């Protein structure tokens, strides 16, 4: 199986982050309140972009679109997706990380 991943984006482009959420049986599953899924970024200078809610595209598939600007810091950006399943003491947290490059 081949997987194509785009990691280079020109300034003033749109970065799409997609996350899959699966249950214990490995089936795609919907996140329901009070559970959350958020996507955040850190630019190459270490500035953190406030995490935002991701949007459900279809059951278990969540997207976030981040628009870069011509003034966006060039270089490698870190991405973090955080899923919190439930709330309080019994909540489970899952974290996914990736990176992408903004170039001129």
Residue ranges making up the domain that contains 71: 8-103
Q: What distances in angstroms separate CA 3 from CA 6, 12, one per listed residue? A: 10, 25
- The CATH number of the domain holding residue 35 is 2.60.40.1930
Number of domains within the chain: 1
Q: Which two tokens stand for residue 15?
A: 């970065």
Rounded distance, CA 64 to CA 41, Å? 11
Give the model confidence (pLDDT) of 2-49 as tens digits. 445 568 888 888 999 999 998 889 999 998 888 999 999 999 999 999
Q: What distances in angstroms separate CA 36 from CA 17, 31, 73, 86, one per listed residue? A: 16, 7, 28, 8
Give the model confidence (pLDDT) of 46-80 as tens digits. 999 989 999 999 999 999 999 999 999 999 999 99
**Domain for residue 24, yes or no?**
yes
**Domain for residue 63, yes or no?**
yes
**Domain for residue 22, yes or no?**
yes
Q: How many CB atoms lie within 10 A of CB 44?
A: 15
Give the model confidence (pLDDT) of 78-95 as tens digits. 999 999 998 888 899 999
Q: How confident is the model at residue 1 (pLDDT cuts 50, 70, 90)?
A: very low
**Domain for residue 55, yes or no?**
yes
- Give me the pLDDT at residue 5, please: 59
Q: Going along the chain, which residue ranges are E strands?
A: 8-10, 14-20, 36-42, 48-53, 55-58, 61-67, 75-85, 92-103
**Domain for residue 2, yes or no?**
no
């Amino acid at each position: 199986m081949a997987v194509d991943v785009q990691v280079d984006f020109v300034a003033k482009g749109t970065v799409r982050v997609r996350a899959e959420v699966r249950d214990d049986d490995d089936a795609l599953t919907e996140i329901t309140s009070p559970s959350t899924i958020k996507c955040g970024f850190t630019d190459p200078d270490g500035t953190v972009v406030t995490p935002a809610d991701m949007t459900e595209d279809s059951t278990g598939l969540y997207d976030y679109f981040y628009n870069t600007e011509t003034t966006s810091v060039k270089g490698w950006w870190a991405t973090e997706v955080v899923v919190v399943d439930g709330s309080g003491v019994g909540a489970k947290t899952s974290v996914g990380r990736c990176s992408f490059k903004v170039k001129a």
